[in-house]
Amino acid sequence: MSTISAVLNNSDYVSAEMRNRIEEAIKALKYRPNDLARGLRLKKTHSIGIVVPDLSNSFYVDLVRGAEDYAASASYTVLIGDSREHWEEEKSYLDSVHRRRVDGVVRVPAMDAPKKKVSSILGDIPVVYADRFPLIRDPHVGRVGVDNIRAAETAMRYLLSLGHRQIGIIVGDASSGTSSDRLRGYVQALRRANIKPDRAMIHSGHNDVESGHSHTMELLTGSNRPSAIFCTNNLMALGAFAAIQELNLLCPEDVSLLGFDDFYWSTLLRPKLTVVSQPAREMGMMAARMLIDQIEGRTSLPSPTLLSTKLILRDSCCPPKSSSLAVSSRDSDADSRESKVSSSKKRVLAAHTS
């Protein structure tokens, strides 16, 4: 038995002849190791759990795929749960993966679970947080994400540079650290531009299409309509886009739209959507790596590990109609058209002369 175990686990020297005999026997008997029994004996199952808030959101699909890719390279399997942004659902998945004796958990907390403690459910099982962080500053708790304050401020600086001064924001639930950081970036950018934040321009949604749609309707049908809207979630941006179309407004001529998180259909929209892009797959890979390093007692990445975001400029933002930038832009376009016409006339005249 010990010789067979050494072959299966590649844990000790076995002669080539004996290894071949054992491998032939495994094929003949169609033998499959019992991972559950092995896990009970070794107190290690080589499996991890990952619970995310919304698998209908492509951002979390990419995050899960990144975690799966790294886990597979380290010979770990992954159990996946979708809390649908509800703590009770998340709690049920966490309890389930604990009963299955996973070695660790990658967790993206549900919106209504920022202050919920999971130690009573998971015990001493290692946990790494991805995307959304707990408010506690425990150096032993792994965290992987982005600098949300800086990312939101970069997006706002771009809108301000176009001449926008009335900028609405649809942000996630304020109890989420991620959402509150993106709101801080928004406020910080306005104050640095000597613009007093207007509470009427700040709306709190639920990171779904419906809330993006309803809050955009409120912003654009109010007495003080913004010239630009910043959505801090890709699904809310999609809802905002639908609301703009329903109101028969033009994007970006009547209202510019900037989203957070890139997604495969953002370039299929017309206009193509300008977004802050997060490295979702890399975030999942980093979280799985940090967790497995912790499980296996290796020195891991520093926590929190913050990855870089990127502002991807497309077609959904332009200077507002009332902006001098917009006027100069239109004048420039007119000059360009006049220059093209003049050049065309000169070519025609030259052709006739020759």
Helix (H) or strand (E) holding 231: strand 228-231
pLDDT at 34: 67
What value, to the nearest 5°, has the Cα angle with vertex 311 and ends 305 and 317?
A: 150
Contacts of 200 (CB under 8 A, 6+ apart): 222, 224
pLDDT at 171: 96
pTM score, whole prediction: 0.79
Same fold? 43-146+282-307, 148-278+310-326 = yes
Question: In what side-by-side order are the strands of the sheet with 228-231?
Answer: 202-204, 167-171, 228-231, 256-260, 274-277, 310-312
Q: What is the pLDDT of residues 287-338, one digit of tens each?
A: 999 999 999 998 877 888 999 999 999 999 999 987 655 544 444 444 444 4
Read off the pLDDT of each residue in 144-166 and give the average, rounded to a whole number. 97
Token pair 């797959």: residue: 281
Averaged confidence pLDDT in the chain:
87
CATH 3.40.50.2300 fits 43-146+282-307, yes or no: yes
Count the neighbouring beta carbons within 10 Å of the beta carbon of residue 61. Answer: 18
Domain boundaries, the chain: 1-33, 43-146+282-307, 148-278+310-326
Residue 354 pLDDT class (50, 70, 90 cuts):
very low
Domain spanning 148-278+310-326, CATH architecture? 3-Layer(aba) Sandwich (3.40)
Residue 30 pLDDT class (50, 70, 90 cuts):
confident
Residue 140 pLDDT class (50, 70, 90 cuts):
low
Read off the pLDDT of each residue in 232-254 and give the average, rounded to a whole number. 96
pLDDT at 339: 46
CA distance 131 to 322: 38
Joined tokens for residue 253? 């001529």
Residue 263 pLDDT class (50, 70, 90 cuts):
confident
